[in-house]
Chain A
């Protein structure tokens, strides 16, 4: 069968791109035809099935000066070569280089929807910043073993491009096992088939615990931070108060599209309009009471009374809403920060009441 050769673009920094050392770290983007430096090993690993058509190069300092903007500029260069797959690095433990590789992968992946692969050491800050967006193969912390790394990256690339489904996943996705393909897990959780049933593992592990033998928990419990409460408001009668809830109260039609479960979004809605026509986007509690009377989730009625009585200065006209049902704590924290920043930006709000379900 006459198979068309896959087109590949590689990203390197000024050093590996053979432009120069630290003194050249400020140079901007340039493109060289074909593979350069470690790209030669990668080309060898890819063999006849794929061809590195271009190498995009940028200085580490230049890239670090405006990561997001430069990633967009670099991705434009990459896109002009119409690649089927994109590689960056390996960047080993190089911090600026790792961030550049990660940012390039994220942008190219988002724009072109092609597999993006890079390689870093676990100490590289790029791992945690970009593991969600790229397949990051595990590399040593100093620049050695490039041919082996090239093989690892190429093998993963062909596996991804094959479209083959991972049959050990209950959902049968095209998602290779991190342990088998030597990459950092991508902040995804998946049901995987297992030799032993849940019941078998539970009894076996409990027995080990009872017998005083070493036992392995399948999950390492988290350590939660303690959040100190802010000082109380002394005089509410002069304050503007905002209402926030994670109970999923949204205007009829759910304009922001909050998900009923594993929601990642939040919305800001006009309070008066919301209380004319509402619905609930939350599948984690018994919704009936709120559907009948949203004030039981968000105390709009009570607050209006208190304002009328002069006990509370003013009620802020916007209601901040999210749906907190099975959302990971990390994203909950981010949503809190985003809503908090918006509240501060508005400048007039002195306090907020958060109601939950």
Chain B
């Protein structure tokens, strides 16, 4: 499977009579974009705005961040199952705009844990999205639409905007072409390089809002998915998207998946990348054990891996899925590197490990996603919410977006930490 990602660097964005890109400037016709978003009858209206680094703006109720991307020369193939018709993602050519992101807000959400991004101040410094030129979209719900149904519409509106903007850059000079070419069946079995697989936890149902799982995989949810072999390009190219809420994960990070890109960088040099096992965390012990055995068997006996990286999504319970699967891999002779995300700011690193398995001897401190940070920065303008929007804190603190200081957990700040391994962050004892 071969994927070419053609990147165009966007230096500025502006509102204009026509949507197109020239000389690194993306011009956007708001009316046309609005019309596109309002095609979905679940959306009554949408607020569109452009935000740039240094502006005194706080974006609220963020549910996703998306990089503008579209397939080249293939109609109806973008984000299959969400935008395009269902088909396998990950091959052919894809246009990608760099330096610009779509920040998707759901201003009417009743969820307590909402994503926040500032374009100035500490959060902007910490998040890569705070240094980009961004298109904020904030749809409002049409009468009679169910809350969860509307969430899907909002996310899809973000993906549709991504496709629309990338298409508009047709004809613009390409700044870089990245090739992701991996022919797994043809990897030489006699190669002396170790075969490495990636166990990828894509979702956890433990936070399911109103008892419904977020669709994130080819148009559907993965709650009932048993471990499945995926080609890494499917993940990079729109087969998998963000959840309906930012929890140290969003579509942009998945489109630029840290671990997949790193394994590609090493492929053919000091390892052979033999594929991805996509799984969902489990809330029940029986299904957890079943998934662990299946995943370990796929890693060892189907992909023939010598080593595996096991990465998790945010949450405590997903550690257990990871550990049980990791133990099974080690039992089968597959060497593991397993992620942990300390869940509390107290104790030693060792105190925070939620499993008891001496064979899991290589543990990566993959950031403490629930770390709290005090943001002493007062916003003047708000998008996707208002100064009165409540900001979540696990302690019973009542605080609002317009307060001079907010106390917020880092997993709610899109881009600051992400569960795909991009963050240059380690957890240390202080």
Chain A interface residues toward B at CB < 8 A: 170-172, 175, 177-178, 185-203, 205-207, 209-211, 215, 217-222, 224, 254, 257, 259-262, 283-286, 288, 325-331
Interface residues of B in 386-412 (CB under 8 A from A): 394-396, 410
| A193 and B351 contacting across the interface, CB-CB below 8 Å | no
Give which listed residue, A190, A207, A224, contacts B427 with CB less than 8 A. A190
- Output the nearest chain B residue to A254 by Cβ-Cβ distance: B396
**B373: interface (CB < 8 Å):** yes
Q: How far is the CA of A323 from the CA of B340 in the complex (A)?
A: 21
Q: Which residues of B contact A201 (CB under 8 A)?
A: 364, 426
**B33: interface (CB < 8 Å):** no
Query: Digit string of B186-224 for contact with A (CB within 8 Å is 1, else 0)?
Result: 000000001010000000011110010000000000000
A179 to chain B, nearest CB (A): 9
| A192 and B342 contacting across the interface, CB-CB below 8 Å | no
| A187 and B283 contacting across the interface, CB-CB below 8 Å | no
| A196 and B424 contacting across the interface, CB-CB below 8 Å | yes
A310 to chain B, nearest CB (A): 34
Q: How far is the CA of A224 from the CA of B316 in the complex (A)?
A: 18
Chain B interface residues toward A at CB < 8 A: 122, 126, 194, 196, 205-208, 211, 258-259, 261-263, 266, 270-271, 283, 306-307, 309, 311, 315-317, 335-337, 339-340, 342-353, 356-358, 360-368, 370-374, 394-396, 410, 416-417, 420-430
- Output the nearest chain B residue to A260 by Cβ-Cβ distance: B394
Q: List 22 A-B contacts (CB under 8 A).
A: A185-B429, A189-B430, A190-B371, A198-B258, A198-B422, A198-B423, A199-B421, A202-B309, A203-B271, A205-B337, A206-B309, A209-B307, A210-B194, A210-B306, A211-B194, A219-B350, A219-B365, A221-B360, A257-B395, A326-B316, A326-B343, A328-B351
- Output the nearest chain A residue to B342 by Cβ-Cβ distance: A189
| B346 and A206 contacting across the interface, CB-CB below 8 Å | no
- Output the nearest chain A residue to B122 by Cβ-Cβ distance: A172
Q: How far is the CA of A285 from the CA of B211 in the complex (A)?
A: 11
| B372 and A171 contacting across the interface, CB-CB below 8 Å | yes
A282 to chain B, nearest CB (A): 10
Q: How far is the CA of A327 from the CA of B345 in the complex (A)?
A: 10
Give which listed residue, B270, B346, B356, contacts A188 with CB less than 8 A. B346
A-B pairs, 6 with minimum CB distance: A199-B421, A326-B343, A199-B258, A328-B347, A171-B373, A199-B262
| B309 and A189 contacting across the interface, CB-CB below 8 Å | no
| A197 and B353 contacting across the interface, CB-CB below 8 Å | no
Q: How far is the CA of A284 from the CA of B206 in the complex (A)?
A: 7
Q: Which residues of B contact A190 (CB under 8 A)?
A: 345, 368, 371, 427-428, 430
| B368 and A218 contacting across the interface, CB-CB below 8 Å | no
- Output the nearest chain A residue to B421 by Cβ-Cβ distance: A199
Knowing A217-B362, A221-B350, A284-B206, the reply to whether A207 touches B271 (Cβ < 8 A) is: yes
Knowing A209-B335, A262-B345, the reply to whether A170 touches B429 (Cβ < 8 A) is: no
B193 to chain A, nearest CB (A): 9
Give which listed residue, A170, A177, A203, A206, contacts B416 with CB less than 8 A. A170
Knowing A171-B373, A219-B340, the reply to whether A194 touches B424 (Cβ < 8 A) is: yes
Given contacts A170-B417, A203-B262, 7 further A-B contacts (CB under 8 A): A185-B429, A189-B352, A190-B428, A199-B259, A207-B307, A259-B395, A261-B394
| B367 and A218 contacting across the interface, CB-CB below 8 Å | no
Knowing A171-B372, A187-B346, A203-B309, the reply to whether A192 touches B428 (Cβ < 8 A) is: yes
| B349 and A220 contacting across the interface, CB-CB below 8 Å | yes
Q: How far is the CA of A96 from the CA of B311 in the complex (A)?
A: 47
Q: How far is the CA of A337 from the CA of B344 in the complex (A)?
A: 21
Q: How far is the CA of A327 from the CA of B196 in the complex (A)?
A: 34
- Output the nearest chain B residue to A289 by Cβ-Cβ distance: B211
Q: Which residues of A contact B343 (CB under 8 A)?
A: 261-262, 325-326
- Output the nearest chain B residue to A264 by Cβ-Cβ distance: B346
Q: How far is the CA of A297 from the CA of B87 in the complex (A)?
A: 44
- Output the nearest chain A residue to B308 by Cβ-Cβ distance: A206
Knowing A191-B410, A224-B356, the reply to whether A209 touches B394 (Cβ < 8 A) is: no
Give which listed residue, A220, A285, A328, contacts B346 with CB less than 8 A. A328
| B259 and A189 contacting across the interface, CB-CB below 8 Å | no
Q: Which residues of A contact B416 (CB under 8 A)?
A: 170
| B364 and A198 contacting across the interface, CB-CB below 8 Å | yes
Give which listed residue, A170, A198, A205, A211, contacts B371 with CB less than 8 A. A170
Knowing A175-B430, A203-B309, A219-B350, the reply to whether A257 touches B424 (Cβ < 8 A) is: no
Knowing A187-B348, A261-B343, the reply to whether A206 touches B362 (Cβ < 8 A) is: yes
Residue from the set A175, A199, A215, A222 with the largest chain B CB neighbour count within 10 Å: A199
Q: Which residues of B contact A215 (CB under 8 A)?
A: 362
Q: Which residues of A contact B316 (CB under 8 A)?
A: 284, 325-326
Q: How far is the CA of A190 from the CA of B423 in the complex (A)?
A: 14
| A328 and B426 contacting across the interface, CB-CB below 8 Å | no
| A197 and B374 contacting across the interface, CB-CB below 8 Å | no
| B270 and A222 contacting across the interface, CB-CB below 8 Å | no
| A192 and B337 contacting across the interface, CB-CB below 8 Å | no
Q: Which residues of B contact A329 (CB under 8 A)?
A: 351
Knowing A191-B371, A197-B423, A217-B363, the reply to whether A177 touches B337 (Cβ < 8 A) is: no
B316 to chain A, nearest CB (A): 5
Knowing A207-B194, A261-B370, the reply to whether A197 touches B258 (Cβ < 8 A) is: yes
| B352 and A328 contacting across the interface, CB-CB below 8 Å | yes
Knowing A177-B430, A189-B352, A195-B424, the reply to whether A202 touches B259 (Cβ < 8 A) is: yes
Knowing A191-B417, A209-B362, the reply to whether A178 touches B430 (Cβ < 8 A) is: yes
